[in-house]
């Protein structure tokens, strides 16, 4: 799959589309009126990959949600991923801007919740494969913390969003890393 030239206007549309998708995966976006319900078999098909020790749940036609039920991955932790076609033109600055918009939307959705962006990392170039990753902490009005790692992964076969959340920062980072490798393998070029 080769990347077609993308105009700046189309770039902004792509960034907005990915932002809406990330908000949906994060649980703050709804299904748009334009979305058709998934075919019955879409929710029964297995995911492209699973990770041992995690229970799987399909969310809609294309979100793969995993929940940890054991101490080694932080019982109650969640990881989800979603695949997209295209999206290779996003820059690290656009990703950072999108994360700031997500934080504003999350805080508006839940009054009293405070979210702090802990850091944004990623590849500055345009070559594939590459990854962007944002780390943040949410504090509820009651004082409960949740750490999240939210990333975009770009490969020859498409793009994926990956989100990990846990009550411990290290656990959230470790769980993200566990899933990032197989996601990148799905996005890798097909070999003969």
Closest CA relative to residue 126, chosen from 90, 76, 96: 90
pLDDT at res. 146: 96
192 Cβ neighbours under 8 A, 6+ residues apart: none
Supply the pTM of this predicted model. Answer: 0.75
Which residue spans within 31-175 are E strands per DSSP? 54-59, 63-68, 78-84, 114-122, 130-139, 145-155, 158-166
- Domain 8-31+51-187 part of CATH 3.30.43.10: no
pLDDT at res. 88: 64
Q: Read off the pLDDT of residues 11-44 as tens digits, 9 standing for 90 and up.
A: 443 334 444 444 433 433 322 222 333 444 445 6
pLDDT at res. 36: 32
pLDDT at res. 94: 92
Domain ranges of the chain: 8-31+51-187
Q: Which regions of the chain are under pLDDT 70?
A: 1-44, 87-88, 192
Closest CA relative to residue 182, chosen from 35, 72, 81: 81
CA–CA distance, 7 with 92 (Å, rounded to integer):
17
pLDDT at res. 159: 93
Tokens standing for residue 150: 């939210």
């Amino acid at each position: 799959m080769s990347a077609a030239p993308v105009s700046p206007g189309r770039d902004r549309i792509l960034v907005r589309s990915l932002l809406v998708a990330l908000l949906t995966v994060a649980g703050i976006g709804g299904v748009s009126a334009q979305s058709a319900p998934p075919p019955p078999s879409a929710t029964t098909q297995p995911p492209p990959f699973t990770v041992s020790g995690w229970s799987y749940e399909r969310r809609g036609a294309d979100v793969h949600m995993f929940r940890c039920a054991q101490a080694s991955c932080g019982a109650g932790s969640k990881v989800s991923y979603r695949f997209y076609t295209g999206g290779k033109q996003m820059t690290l600055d656009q990703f950072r801007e999108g994360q700031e918009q997500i934080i504003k939307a999350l805080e508006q959705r839940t009054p009293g919740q405070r979210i702090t962006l802990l850091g944004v990392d990623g590849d500055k170039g345009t070559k594939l494969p590459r990854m962007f990753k944002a780390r943040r902490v949410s504090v509820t009005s009651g004082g409960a913390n949740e750490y999240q790692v939210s990333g975009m992964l770009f490969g020859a076969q498409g793009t994926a969003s990956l989100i990990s959340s846990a009550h411990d920062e290290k656990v959230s980072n470790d769980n993200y890393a566990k899933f990032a490798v197989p996601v990148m393998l799905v996005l890798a070029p097909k070999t003969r």
